[in-house]
Structure 1
Amino acid sequence: MRIALFVTCVNDVAFPSTGIATVRLLERLGVEVAFPEAQTCCGQMQYNTGYPAEAAPLAAKFARDVAGYDAVVIPSGSCGAFVRDVHPKLAPAAATPPVYELTEFLIDVLGVEDVGAYFPHRVAYHPTCHSSRLLKLGDRPTRLLRAVAGLELVELPAAEECCGFGGTFSVKNPDVSAAMGADKVAHAVESGAEYLVAADNSCLMHIGGTARRSGAPVRTIHLAEILAATKETAVTV
């Protein structure tokens, strides 16, 4: 199977380690991964800000960029949901291969839960809004986490609550966004986790920034980076 990695603009610009981890993980599992170099933004920011006409060409471009691959893997619940749910409305004539968020691809396509990872830390999982409400990832991420050697998965209080980022919501409503982020960090600390993990770096950026500014004893990490970690690489994560 030859898949196209759509790394997302947020990961490309701010969190390249997530894209690298995704490639390392998939190649370890025997998947041939390609990176279409023409890829840009999926158009979610434009669409959610009220500019669907500006988002439509990006949806059509996405289809051209991934044409010819067996599937597309996206290490982002937010962008994955947008591509799968909204792109067909923006560019109805554009056909794309099947699109999967990373945990969907691992569980539903490859049929694996134990990916050979090692991460000896206490971890809490935050189910981001798009991954849980639109993609309906369910327990896929936690099934993968429970199979990681050395990892202790702890419950996150009020896990279903939004972290407050919401893309441009955090810009338009900064006070509300900051308060929601502070609540999420407080719950992460309450859980006793060393790391808060999620499938969206946009949310982790918001939560992680809040945690650092407040001095909270919890770090954030993308799920792909845990799943890619091994005994040889875990110390560098």
Structure 2
Amino acid sequence: MRLWESARDAVPPDRLFVAGAGCESTRATVRLCRAAAEAGADAVLVQPPAFYRAAMSDPVIAAHYRAVADASPVPVIVYQVPLRFSTLEFATGLVETLARHPNIVGIKDSRGSLELVAELVARTPDDFQVLVGSGAAFYGALEAGAVGGILGVANLMPGECARIHAAFRDGDSAEAGRIQERVGPLHNAVVGGLGVPGVKAALDRLGLRGGDPRPPLPALDERGTLAVERALAEAGLGG
């Protein structure tokens, strides 16, 4: 909760603050959504319960998200976690159903498939926000109809990620593509390739505060650290 409060203090009032609030039970998720709202979150990003994966049918997941959205004081964004993690994959029809709830306003899709992004855009209402999580596919996702992204690589190249969006919005596809060519490889090498330990190590090397990941995730070994330094250099970062 203190982290949320600190984040709210750091985020300018004219920018949205989205808090992660997914848990394994509906009741705990609702409790976390309410706490996030009290801490100043403008919306919550809710990942699906996946421990009892075999029991998580589409109707069960739909009922969970409806109950959360009914109780949440702030809008809910569904989180399609990357499939390499312990999670569920949302069928497009399920997302289409969830999009009808007035307090479920979007999805963050981190699968990295432009075809699936286009499918989500085509089958959900115009005011349902399709966002992506893959920095490697950001420009392509915008071309496919996504409205934006919540990108891990934006921790390392925030200005560049914002400029991809701005260039796309302004119709400058050449500029958007040029920047994407720098952002994509960094995402693949650090965010996709090394995960949280890689992002934290990269932040340290950019003069920010990454620190060690929380156990049981290990800090990078020497080989991983060298890979981060190489990726930053190839992206034109890190001096």
Q: TM-score range by the shorter chain?
A: 0.3 to 0.5
Bigger radius of gyration, 1 or 2? 2
Which structure has more RCO (C-alpha within 8 Å, separation ≥ 6)? 1
